[in-house]
Amino acid sequence: MGRLFGTDGVRGVANADLTAELALGLSVAAAHVLAEAGTFEGHRPTALVGRDPRASGEFLEAAVVAGLASAGVDVLRVGVLPTPAVAYLTGALGADIGVMLSASHNAMPDNGIKFFARGGHKLADELEDRIETVYEQHRTGEPWARPTGAGVGRVTDYAEGFDRYVAHLIAVLPNRLDGLKVVLDEAHGAAARVSPEAFARAGAEVVTIGAEPDGLNINDGCGSTHLDLLKAAVVEHGADLGIAHDGDADRCLAVDASGEEVDGDQILAVLALAMREAGQLRKNTVVGTVMSNLGFKTAMEREGIQLVQTAVGDRYVLESMKAEGFALGGEQSGHVIVLDHATTGDGTLTGLMLAARIAATGRTLADLAGVMQRLPQVLVNVPDVDKSRVDTSPELAAAVAEAERELGDTGRVLLRKSGTEPLVRVMVEAADIEQARAVAGQLADVVKSALG
């Protein structure tokens, strides 16, 4: 069996790859593995389960809840809430396990299962591996030990989760947003209620788009992967900024008053300076990934802030932050982690903190984001290739070496396997956009021919 868990939980086409049987089985396996690890010792275990609005989340939630309760775990169902809300509430309520059903920015037919450990942190790789092993053992015939009578888990709806999470967001803001006009694109996703409520309570004038989820329209032409609607709306409404979330609202991209995109690197740069000013940027360090724009690295060097770079994936950013005690980290895609206030990327919190910086300084977002100049960066996704050979193909290695020679010191090349999809990503940075496009196109062709 190939590894079920990718960089961000288990993902696939709902009811094809990700079935009710798989969701139920993994949930039972997770309960047994965590019991085995001593997580439940001395008390009756509790799990917290949330989802995004995808239609498939309805039956997958039922399967996960059934699996956990059948294994003797009491379940709090929080309904449709962002991934970071589920992580926060798992910690705040002292739950032993959190489960989020979402495929984040993926298209509607996909869904995913993400497990959180006690405290709201992502499960360690070794626990995920153990869950897979235990699931596979029992899938092929070994019967589960099942509680009966009063030993089965009880299921309760926890409607208070919404207010508790919004109150948390407001409580950690450094200042109010009075006087700011913000357009929010909720991607018809998990933050469709939470984010507008939080911004309004913080004092902002709020305009929403993409805030009418029907189970089928999540990420459809809107949200952080499709910024055109938000750009137009910000200009049309004369707003100070726009904020775009993805389907599960663990990421945030922004748009300035003139409709220009402000990406995750720029948001990190703005927040790094704000947190340093407030004495909150521990060790004067921000954590990025190997995909961070060279312009971000240059800006941090100029400002005297250290940049630590990890593999791509917010879990690796988080691991570095926790290991070294850093306070701020994130990705160009808009996953930003403020570790004092969240255990995972939180798009609503990020948007609120960015808006708070604008309100506190009286400067425009364009002015604040101007602390860094983005080098042109081209990303080409090459689907339907054998991504496992990306590091071992001699043909590909030669093409990359040639591209690096051509770019010299003014750019760079990065090839990486997607952690959640069957594709290879080709990233090229160069001082000139046309050169970046040309080199990326050439490399994508080689990836197709070498790995196809």
Pick the more confident residue, 233 or 387: 233
Is residue 279 domain-shared with residue 309, that is, in the same domain? yes
Closest by CA position to 27, among listed 93, 44, 35, 356? 35
Q: Once rounded to an integer, what is the mean pLDDT over residues 180-201?
A: 98
Domain of 404: which CATH number? Answer: 3.30.310.50
CB 281 within 8 A of CB 327: yes
pLDDT tens-digit series, residues 227-238: 999 999 999 999
For the chain, the average pLDDT equals 94
What is the amino acid identity at position 417? K
Answer yes or no: is 264 within a domain. yes
Q: For the segment 20-40, what is each residue's pLDDT rounded down to a tens digit?
A: 999 999 999 999 999 999 989
113 with 237, same domain?
no
Q: State whether 356 and 446 are in the same domain.
A: no
Report the C-alpha gap between 336 and 53 in whole angstroms. 22
Determine if residue 214 is labeled as part of a ligand binding site: no
Q: pLDDT digits over 49-105, tens only?
A: 999 999 999 999 999 999 999 999 999 999 999 999 999 999 999 999 999 999 999
- Does residue 143 belong to any structural domain of this protein? yes
Q: pLDDT-based confidence at 213, cuts 50/70/90?
A: very high
Q: Which of 56, 102, 104, 224 is catalytic?
A: 104
DSSP 18-78: B-HHHHHHHHHHHHHHHHHTTTTTTS--EEEEEE-S-THHHHHHHHHHHHHHHTT-EEEEE
167 found inside a domain? no
Question: Is 319 found in the same domain as 183?
Answer: yes
- Whether 255 and 352 share a structural domain: yes
Alpha-carbon distances of 322 from 325, 343, 412, rounded to whole Å: 5, 10, 29
| 246 labelled ligand-binding | yes
Residue 141 domain boundaries: 5-162
Identify whether the C-beta of residue 443 lies closer than 8 Å to the C-beta of residue 422.
no
Q: pLDDT confidence of 223, banded at 50, 70, 90?
A: very high
pLDDT at 80: 98
- Residue 345 shares a structural domain with residue 247: yes
Q: Which of 116, 137, 162 is the last residue in one of the domains? A: 162
Residue 385 forms part of a structural domain = yes
Q: So what's the pLDDT on residue 6?
A: 81
Tokens of 431: 């001082």
| 30 lies in some domain | yes
CATH number of the domain enclosing 35: 3.40.120.10
Among the candidates 162, 190, 216, a domain finishes at 162
Q: What is the pLDDT of residue 2?
A: 54
pLDDT tens digits, one per residue of 256-285: 999 999 999 999 999 999 999 999 999 999
Structure confidence at residue 4 (pLDDT): 87
In this structure, are 186 and 136 located in the same domain? no
Q: Which residue has the higher pLDDT, 60 or 2?
A: 60
State yes or no: 248 annotated in a binding site.
Answer: yes
Other CB atoms closer than 10 Å to residue 96's CB: what's the count?
Answer: 22
Report the pLDDT averaged over residues 350-371. 98
Tell me, what's the pLDDT at 1?
41
Residue 409 clears pLDDT 80, i.e. is over it: no
Residue 24 placed within a domain: yes
pLDDT of amino acid 143: 85
Same domain, 143 and 228: no
Binned at pLDDT 50, 70 and 90, residue 3 comes out as confident
* Whether residues 321 and 347 fall in one domain: yes
Same domain, 383 and 360: no
Does the residue 32 lie in any domain?
Answer: yes
Q: What is the pLDDT of residue 310?
A: 95
Please check whether residues 335 and 253 belong to one and the same domain. Answer: yes
Residue that terminates a domain, selected from 339, 369, 399 = 369
pTM for this predicted structure:
0.90
**Contact present, 261 and 253 (Cβ < 8 Å):** yes
pLDDT at 214: 98
Residues 29 and 176 in one domain: no
Least confident of 77-91, 234-248, 369-383, 396-410: 396-410
Active site residue 27: no
**pLDDT at 8 > cutoff 80:** no
Please tell me the total count of domains within the chain.
3
296 in a structural domain: yes
**Cβ neighbours around 435 below 10 Å, total:** 18
What is d(CA 27, CA 45) in angstroms, rounded to the nearest whole number? 13
The CA distance from 113 to 100, in Å, is: 6
What's 248-294 look like in SS3?
CCCCEEEEECCCCEECHHHHHHHHHHHHHHCCCCHHHEEEEECCCCH
Report the C-alpha gap between 84 and 345 in whole angstroms.
Answer: 7
